[in-house]
């Protein structure tokens, strides 16, 4: 009878080549990104790039430009954070779209600009983005013209917007197109000239308190908040055509990093890779780099009855982007956020393999949810 050790060695000899071949030919359907870039927010210096000019749809990361156009209207005095906006039939139609993240806007409802800005940055609400277009520019078409004019002004040469929310194009509509480099330029401008972090750093908040009997529980789709040290923004995005996208930023001491990923095949893979890129950015950051905003933020509105944020995400029942949960209205409290914590080490589930692109062996405890 053959010795068991002999059988084991023979098995290794036959199986090892196959295992090596499988590792070298990882399925193309599993990819960390189609393009990525890491930038020093202070100087705009590129610290790392890989196919940074690869163009594709940004999905809901589009809403970064939506925020900027509205911000410019507020800065010019055309709007204030307290300007009331009456919801239209078109806003309600967008809210009713299948598989569209929303805050369930109804025709005739009235919400202030500030509340809708929280909705697009936290909940990634497509209906709220649509509502902001007619408030800021009179029509959706005029608003999109302003989006593209601003992109041109910022030098976003690979960008063309055709929606305020990043939804897939309808019949006869062109898709939103941009690149990681362009999104990094946009992100840097927002960090220098706006108070966008006031919105993107909030992990959870109620929408409609004081207006509705049932509020919408908004949970930030950026799972790096509170899990990566210093991370306080910016925006996630997902459609079948775009894949999983993320424009992120983190600050530690005087250093601030911007990182953008487009076209990841999985949300968790994107987040793990983003964590790696943020660490790479801080490691490559020039010692003398000091980030400082170049303009004061727009004055916030007084705490309103419609705000009920919380400082941490719920421990259970993670929000799925395809559903919009509601929660009973409660007493209003001022918007607050808790300080982000360092990367949380956690063992991988049995049988789960790490991405070959994750060189720093980061492990994040991430909700098992889609966007």
CB 271 within 8 A of CB 366: yes
- Catalytic, 63? Answer yes
Burial class (CB in 10 A: 0-12, 13-18, 19+), 120: buried
Q: How many CB atoms lie within 10 A of CB 212?
A: 18
Pairing of strands 255-264, 35-40: antiparallel
Q: Of the residues 34, 100, 124, 179, which is catalytic?
A: 124
Helix (H, G, I), strand (E, B) or coil at 298: coil
Task: State how far the Cα of 46 lies from the Cα of 43, in Å rounded to an integer.
Answer: 9
Strand partners, 310: 204
Burial class (CB in 10 A: 0-12, 13-18, 19+), 2: exposed
Task: State how far the Cα of 325 lies from the Cα of 217, in Å rounded to an integer.
Answer: 6
Q: Of the residues 19, 34, 43, 60, which is catalytic?
A: 60
User: Can you count the helices (H) and strands (E) in the chain?
Assistant: 9, 10
CB 246 within 8 A of CB 236: yes
- Catalytic, 60? Answer yes
Q: Of the residues 34, 63, 150, 235, which is catalytic?
A: 63
Q: For residue 91, how far is the Cα from the chain centroid?
A: 22
Buried b (16+ CB within 10 A) or exposed e, 165-204: bbbbeeeeeebbebbbbbbbbbbbbbbbbbbbbbbbbbbb
List alpha helices for the chain, DSSP H: 4-24, 63-76, 89-95, 113-118, 126-137, 140-153, 180-193, 197-200, 267-284
DSSP single-letter state for residue 355: P
Q: How many CB atoms lie within 10 A of CB 17?
A: 9
Residues recognised as catalytic: 60, 63, 124
């Amino acid at each position: 009878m053959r010795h068991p050790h002999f059988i084991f060695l023979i098995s290794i000899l036959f199986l090892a080549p196959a295992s090596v071949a499988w590792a070298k030919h990882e399925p193309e359907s599993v990819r960390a990104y189609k393009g990525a870039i890491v930038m020093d927010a202070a100087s705009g210096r590129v610290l790392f790039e890989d196919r940074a000019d690869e163009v594709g749809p940004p999905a809901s990361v589009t809403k970064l430009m939506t925020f900027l156009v509205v911000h410019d209207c507020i800065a010019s005095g055309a709007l204030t954070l307290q300007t009331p906006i009456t919801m239209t039939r078109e806003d309600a139609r967008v809210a009713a779209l299948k598989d569209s993240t929303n805050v369930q806007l109804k025709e005739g409802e009235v919400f202030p600009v500030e509340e809708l800005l929280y909705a697009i940055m936290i909940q990634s609400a497509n209906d709220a983005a649509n509502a902001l277009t007619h408030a800021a520019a009179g029509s959706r078409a005029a608003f999109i013209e302003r989006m593209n004019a601003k992109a041109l002004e910022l030098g976003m040469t690979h960008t063309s917007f055709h929606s305020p929310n990043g939804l897939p194009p309808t019949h006869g509509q062109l898709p939103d197109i941009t690149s990681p480099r362009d999104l990094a330029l946009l992100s840097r401008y927002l960090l220098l000239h706006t108070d966008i972090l006031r919105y993107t750093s909030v992990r959870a908040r109620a929408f409609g308190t004081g207006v509705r009997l049932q509020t919408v529980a908004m949970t930030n789709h950026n799972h790096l908040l509170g899990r990566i040290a210093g991370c306080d923004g910016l925006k996630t995005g997902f459609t079948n055509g775009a894949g999983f996208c993320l424009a992120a930023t983190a600050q530690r001491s005087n250093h601030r990093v911007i990182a953008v990923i487009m076209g990841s095949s999985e949300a968790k893979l994107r987040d793990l890779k983003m964590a790696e890129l943020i660490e790479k950015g801080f490691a490559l950051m020039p010692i003398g780099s000091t980030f400082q905003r170049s303009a004061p933020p727009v004055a916030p509105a007084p705490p309103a009855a419609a705000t009920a944020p919380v400082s941490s995400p719920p421990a259970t029942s993670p929000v799925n982007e395809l559903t919009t949960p509601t929660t009973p209205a409660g007493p209003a409290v001022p918007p607050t956020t808790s300080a982000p914590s360092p990367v949380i080490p956690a063992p991988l589930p049995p049988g789960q393999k790490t991405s070959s692109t994750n060189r720093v062996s980061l492990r994040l405890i991430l909700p098992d949810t889609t966007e």
